[in-house]
């Protein structure tokens, strides 16, 4: 494998998970998350995403890898469009179902992920517009990096093994979401496998880009609405419990 490709893969597999987890931990440790904090998080993430995608594209094109090989093509327009619509509908339904299941399980609500969602996701119109730009950036850049570049590089490197490309792409994609915890990484790995398989089947990044956009936009816009009242109730119940405990001492 070329040295620059190995360096990129090492960065994706080690630095990106560590930096992402560290950044989210710092964000969660702050006293409160303000609009300025969220906008700064969105802006810096967009810059990082586009910079990373630009470096990957630069090195890939420098070694003569065509745009079509990286997934920037539509061999069968009808197949690509139908697959995109079906995949987006499935992902949207899954996001809604996951949120409702979280609300029905008290242990899930008390976990760290719902509170992370409440802090990071947009709360008002300015933030929603900025978040929209973030979602577009993440959907385009991450799909290109993981399904376009990583999947193809591992497939070619391991003798044309489609399975190896699927697995390694999904693995690095899952690791990039280390900040979501083990369950988050596992679910992201599974979604990554699905997206990688569809990218291989259609030969295009369009379906996975569209579905990635729908997934992030849906969770970002729906989660604050679904979780707002529930988290307040959980927080109040904890205070009541502590108060009863203190009064009994």
Q: Is residue 23 part of a domain?
A: yes
Is 105 among the domain residues?
Answer: yes
Exposure b/e, 115-147, CB count within 10 A at least 16 = b: bbbbbbbbbeeebeebbbebbbbbbbbbbbbbb
**Domain membership flag for residue 188:** yes
Chain segment 173-202, per-residue pLDDT in tens? 999 999 888 888 999 999 999 999 999 999
pTM of the model: 0.88
Q: Please list, in sequence order, all residues whose beta carbon lies within 8 angstroms of the beta carbon of residue 11, skipping any fewer than 6 positions away.
A: none
Confidence of residue 46 (pLDDT cuts 50, 70, 90): very high
pLDDT grade, residue 112 (50/70/90)? low
Asked if residue 207 is part of any domain, the answer here is yes
Residue 249 lies in a domain: no
Question: How does residue 243 score in pLDDT terms, banded at 50, 70 and 90?
Answer: very low
Is residue 116 in a domain? yes
Mean pLDDT, the chain, rounded, equals 87
Radius of gyration of the chain (CA): 20
| Residue 197 belongs to a domain | yes
Q: Considering its fold, how many domains does the chain have in total?
A: 1
Q: What is the pLDDT of residues 69-108, one digit of tens each?
A: 999 999 899 999 999 999 999 999 999 998 888 777 655 4
Please indicate, yes or no, if residue 208 is contained in any of the structural domains.
Answer: yes
Structural domain of residue 216, as residue ranges? 3-29+36-236
Helices (H), 105-160: 106-109, 112-120, 125-142, 151-157
Residues in the chain: 249
70 sits in the region (left: phi over 0; alpha: psi -120 to 50; else beta) called alpha
Give pLDDT tens digits for 3-44.
999 999 999 999 999 999 998 888 878 777 888 999 999 999
CA dihedral (215, 25, 23, 207) in degrees, to 10, reads -10
Residue 30's pLDDT is: 74
């Amino acid at each position: 494998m070329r040295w620059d490709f190995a360096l990129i893969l090492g960065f994706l597999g080690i630095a990106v998970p560590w930096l992402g987890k560290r950044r989210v931990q710092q964000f969660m440790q702050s006293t409160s998350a303000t609009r300025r904090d969220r906008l700064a998080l969105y802006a810096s993430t967009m810059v990082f995403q586009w910079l990373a995608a630009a470096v990957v594209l630069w090195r890939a094109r420098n070694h003569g890898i065509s745009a079509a090989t990286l997934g920037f093509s539509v061999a069968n327009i009808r197949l690509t469009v139908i697959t995109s619509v079906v995949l987006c509908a499935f992902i949207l339904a899954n996001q809604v179902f996951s949120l409702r299941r979280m609300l029905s399980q008290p242990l899930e609500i008390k976990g760290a992920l719902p509170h992370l969602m409440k802090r990071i996701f947009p709360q008002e119109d300015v933030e929603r517009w900025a978040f929209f730009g973030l979602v577009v950036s993440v959907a385009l850049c991450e799909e290109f990096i993981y399904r376009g570049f990583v999947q193809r590089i591992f497939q070619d490197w391991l003798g044309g093994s489609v399975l190896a490309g699927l697995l390694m792409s999904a693995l690095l994609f899952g690791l990039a979401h280390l900040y979501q915890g083990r369950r988050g990484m596992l679910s992201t790995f599974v979604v990554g496998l699905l997206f990688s398989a569809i990218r291989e089947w259609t030969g295009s990044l369009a379906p996975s880009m569209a579905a990635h956009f729908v997934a992030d936009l849906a969770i970002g816009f729906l989660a604050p609405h679904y979780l707002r009242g529930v988290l307040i109730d959980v927080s109040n119940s904890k205070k009541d419990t502590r108060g009863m405990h203190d009064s009994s001492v």
